[in-house]
Amino acid sequence: MHIQIVPGSFARTAFYEPLREALIAEGYATSITPLPSIGMRHGRPPATMEEDAECIRAATEGLVEQGEDVVLVMHSYGGIPGMQSVEGFSRAERERAGKAGGVVRLVYLAAVVPDVGQSVNEIMAPWLEKYREMSYVKVEGDYMSHDPELSAKYTFSDLAPDRALEWAEQMQPQSTISFDGKLSYAAYKDFPASYIS
Report, as an integer, the average pLDDT of 22-50.
96
Entry pTM: 0.93
Bridge-based pairing of strands 143-146 and 174-175 is antiparallel
Q: Which residues contact 106 (CB under 8 A, 6 or more apart)?
A: 71, 72, 74, 82, 83, 86, 187, 188, 191, 192, 193, 194
| Strand order through the sheet with 137-140 | 137-140, 143-146, 174-175
Please tell me which residue, 169 or 127, carries the higher pLDDT value. 169
Q: What per-residue string of b and e applies to 89-127 under the rule 16 or more CB within 10 Å gives b?
A: bbbeebeeeeeebbbbbbbbbebbbbeeeebbeebbeee
Report the alpha-carbon distance of residue 132 to residue 3 in Å, rounded: 34
DSSP-based three-state secondary structure for 87: coil
For 112, phi and psi rounded to 5 degrees? Answer: -80, 125
Report, as an integer, the average pLDDT of 48-70.
98
Report, as an integer, the average pLDDT of 43-60.
97
Domain total of the chain: 1
Q: According to the model, what pLDDT value does residue 134 have?
A: 65
Please tell me which residue, 125 or 165, carries the higher pLDDT value. 165
Domain of residue 171, residue span:
2-196
Asked if pLDDT for residue 129 goes beyond 80, the answer is no
Report, as an integer, the average pLDDT of 105-133.
86
Report the alpha-carbon distance of residue 13 to residue 16 in Å, rounded: 6
191: enclosing H helix or E strand: none
Dihedral angle sign, alpha carbons of residues 52, 101, 97, 187: negative
Q: What is the DSSP letter of 110?
A: S
CATH number at residue 24: 3.40.50.1820
pLDDT band per the 50, 70, 90 thresholds, residue 104: very high
Could you tell me what percent of the chain has a pLDDT over 90? 82
Asked if pLDDT for residue 126 goes beyond 90, the answer is no
60: enclosing H helix or E strand: helix 49-64
Mean pLDDT value across the chain: 94
